[in-house]
A and B are shown apart, each in its own frame.
Chain A
Amino acid sequence: MQTKIHLDEDEMPRRWYNIQADLPAPLDPPLNPKTGVPVTPGDLSAIFPAELIRQEMTAARFVDIPDEVIDILRLWRPSPLFRARRLEEYLKTPARIYYKYEGVSPAGSHKPNTAVPQAYYNRQEGIERLATETGAGQWGSALAFATCHFEMDCTVYMVRSSYAQKPYRKMMMQVWGAECHPSPSILTASGRAVLEKDPNTPGSLGIAISEAVEDAANHANTNYALGSVLNHVCLHQTVIGLEAREQLASVDEYPDVVIGAVGGGSNFAGIAFPFAGDKLTGKKPEVELIGVEPAACPTLTKGLYAYDYGDVAGLTPIMKMFTLGHDFVPPDIHAGGLRYHGVSPIVSRLVRDGVARAVSVYQNEVFDAAQTFARTEGIIPAPEAAHAIRTAIDVALECRRTGEARTILFNNTGHGHFDLASYEAYYAGILPDYDYPEELIRDALSRLPKVG
Chain B
Amino acid sequence: MQELRVGFVVNPVAGMGGRVGLKGTDGLADRARALGAEPTAGARATAALLPLAGRPLRFVTAGGGMGEAALSAAGIAGFDCVYRPAVPTTALDTRAACRAILEQGVDLLLFCGGDGTARDVADAVGRAVPILGIPAGVKMYSSVFAVDPAAVGAVVPTDGPLRCTDAEVIDVDEAAYRANDLRTVLHAVVRTPVAPGLVQATKQVFEEADEDRARAAIGAFIADAMLPGVLYILGPGTTTGAVGRHLGLETTLLGFDAVLDGRLIKADLDENALLAQLEMVGEARLVLSVIGAQGFVLGRGTQVCTPSVLRRIGPRHLLLLGTPGKLVRTPALHIDTGDPALDAAFGPHLQVVTGYGTAQRKRVGGDPAAPIMGERNG
Contact = CB atoms under 8 A, between A and B. Distances in A.
Contacts of A437: 221, 351, 353, 357-359
B353 A440 contact: yes
Contact of B201 (A368, A369, A430): A430
A372 interface: yes
A301 to B, nearest CB: 15
A437 to B, nearest CB: 4
Interface in A284-306: 295-296
B203 A365 contact: no
B213 interface: yes
A126 interface: no
B44 interface: no
Contacts of B357: 324, 328-329, 436-437, 440-441, 444
B202 A430 contact: yes
Contact of B373 (A165, A371, A421, A432): A371
Interface in A32-56: none
A421 B202 contact: yes
Interface string B327-359: 110010000000000000000010101111111
Contacts of B355: 331
A121 interface: no
A441 B357 CA distance: 6
Contacts of A427: 201, 370
A362 interface: yes
Interface string A358-400: 0000101100110110010000000000000000010001000
A372 B221 contact: no
Contacts of A424: 200-201
Contacts of B327: 432
Nearest to B223: A444
B360 interface: yes
A440 B203 contact: no
Contact of A295 (B225, B319, B361): B361
A443 B225 contact: yes
Contact of A375 (B226, B319, B373): B373
A446 B373 contact: no
B356 to A, nearest CB: 7
Given A368-B375, A397-B377, A440-B319, A435 B224 contact: no
Residue of A369, A397, A435, A436 with most chain B CB atoms under a 10 A cut-off: A435
Interface residues of A, number: 42
Interface string A60-93: 0000000000000000000000000000001100
Interface in B159-180: none
Contact of A440 (B209, B221, B362): B221
Residue of A200, A397, A440, A441 with most chain B CB atoms under a 10 A cut-off: A440
B324 interface: yes
Nearest to B230: A443
Residue of B199, B360, B369 with most chain A CB atoms under a 10 A cut-off: B360
A443 B222 CA distance: 9
B353 A365 contact: no
Contacts of A368: 371, 373, 375-377
Interface in B180-233: 199-203, 209, 213, 221-222, 224-227
A447 B224 contact: yes
B373 A435 contact: no
Contacts of B202: 421, 425, 428, 430-431
B328 A432 contact: yes
Nearest to A446: B227
Contact of B377 (A295, A369, A447): A369
A425 B225 contact: no
Interface in A404-440: 421, 424-437, 440
Contacts of B222: 440
B214 to A, nearest CB: 11
A277 interface: no
Nearest to A166: B203
B373 to A, nearest CB: 6
A430 B360 CA distance: 12
B21 interface: no
A330 interface: yes
B368 A435 contact: no
Nearest to A92: B378
Contacts of A428: 199, 201-202, 370
A435 B351 contact: yes
A429 B331 contact: yes
B225 A432 contact: no
A421 B357 CA distance: 26
Contact of A434 (B201, B213, B360): B360
Interface in B254-292: none
Interface string A327-357: 0111100000000000000000000000000
A200 B214 CA distance: 12
A430 B351 contact: no
A431 B369 CA distance: 11
B221 A444 contact: yes
A435 B225 contact: no
B280 to A, nearest CB: 21
A200 B370 contact: no
Residue of A200, A368, A424, A447 with most chain B CB atoms under a 10 A cut-off: A368
A434 B358 contact: yes
Contacts of B224: 444, 447
A393 B361 contact: no
A91 B378 CA distance: 6
B377 A393 contact: yes
B201 A421 contact: yes
A296 B358 contact: yes
Contacts of B373: 368, 371-372, 375
Given A368-B371, A447-B224, A432 B324 contact: yes
Residue of A200, A296, A444 with most chain B CB atoms under a 10 A cut-off: A444
A428 B360 CA distance: 17
A14 to B, nearest CB: 40
Contacts of A369: 377
A425 B328 CA distance: 10
Contacts of A425: 201-202
Contacts of B359: 331, 434-437
B332 to A, nearest CB: 10
A205 to B, nearest CB: 15
Residue of B200, B224, B327 with most chain A CB atoms under a 10 A cut-off: B224
B225 A440 contact: yes
A173 to B, nearest CB: 20
Contacts of A440: 221-222, 225, 319, 353, 357
A450 to B, nearest CB: 16
A444 B225 contact: yes
Nearest to A330: B358
A389 B170 CA distance: 43
B9 to A, nearest CB: 31
Interface string A4-25: 0000000000000000000000
Nearest to B360: A432
Contact of A433 (B324, B328, B362, B376): B362
Given A296-B358, A429-B369, 9 more contacts: A200-B209, A372-B373, A397-B377, A429-B370, A432-B328, A434-B361, A435-B361, A440-B222, A443-B226
26 contacts: A200-B213, A328-B357, A331-B354, A331-B355, A362-B361, A369-B377, A372-B373, A425-B202, A426-B370, A428-B201, A429-B370, A430-B199, A430-B202, A432-B327, A432-B354, A432-B360, A434-B360, A435-B359, A435-B361, A436-B359, A437-B353, A437-B359, A440-B357, A443-B226, A443-B227, A447-B224
